[in-house]
Amino acid sequence: MLVVENLDKTFHTGAGDVHAVQNVSFDAKDGELVAILGASGSGKSTLLSLLGLLDAPDRGSIEIDGTQLANLDSAGRTKYRSRQVGFVFQQFNLIPNLNARENVKLALEFAHWPKDDRDHRANELLGIVGLDAGKADRRPAKLSGGEQQRVAIARAFAAQPQLILADEPTGSLDKATGQKIVELLREVATTQKATVLVVTHDEKIAKKADRRFEIEDGVLKEIA
């Protein structure tokens, strides 16, 4: 269960203050797929950074299953990212000199997953996301965009996090592949009982979510 209350983030630039996130409050249940719609520069990526503890909020609280995260120190935030959060990026961001399985195992390593179970867990997840078994040993450059995103999703879910943050996960994919990826996210969210927040500007993708929010000038509101 994710509970966000009164989250604020302002960037101080030479051109003046930019209120990227303003008084954002919402909650999401385990296994729920939440879509956040917004145009470029609306603050949706900043919101994901705050939720993923990549950035610190100026004000507000983030709570997962009753644990308050806003006050964690650097080591605590690193530990949180490795075990409680999974990221899916628009550009996949797989490590280029590691193959698909090794990319998934990397997340398991950071989460201190038992060593002798990492291969099994990586293969299991690559199977869940539908990557052909023969492609697990391929490096990202030898995989298609859709396949790379499948590997990225497997990596995000590897350590059984409670929160998956997907930033434009279909932005680099064709429509058909994008639809499949969103369906995959929904499916894995259900089976892994994780909350999935998908940031997108694609209405069709957003319609597949359980709940939809729209963010504009840093202000978040739920839409029907």
| Site residues (vs other proteins, CB under 8 A) | 45-46, 49, 52, 54-55, 75, 78-83, 85, 87, 89-91, 93, 95-96, 106-107, 110-111, 155, 167
Number of H helices, E strands in the chain: 7, 10
Taking the complex as a whole, how short is the minimal distance between the CB of residue 170 and other proteins, in angstroms? 14
> Exposed, middle or buried: residue 19 (CB in 10 Å: 0-12, 13-18, 19+)?
middle
| Minimum distance from residue 134 beta carbon to other proteins (Å) | 25
DSSP state of 147: H
Instruction: Return d(Cα 37, Cα 47) in angstroms, integer.
Output: 12
Q: Can you give 11-46 as a three-state secondary structure string?
A: EEECCEEEEEEEEEEEEECCCCEEEEECCCCCCHHH
Please, which residue, 155 or 212, has the CB nearer to other proteins? 155
With respect to other proteins, which residue has the nearer C-beta, 140 or 211?
140
- How far is Cα 21 from Cα 24, in angstroms, rounded to an integer? 7
Q: Which is nearer to other proteins, 110 or 210 (CB)?
A: 110
* CB of residue 17 to other proteins, shortest distance in Å: 17
* Nearest to other proteins of 123, 172 (CB atom): 172
| Residue number with CB closer to other proteins (160 or 190) | 160
The CA-atom distances, in angstroms, between 70 and each of 23, 66, 156, 166, 210 are 15, 12, 22, 20, 26
What's the min distance (Å) between Cβ of 133 and other proteins? 24
Q: Least distance from C-beta 210 to other proteins, angstroms?
A: 25
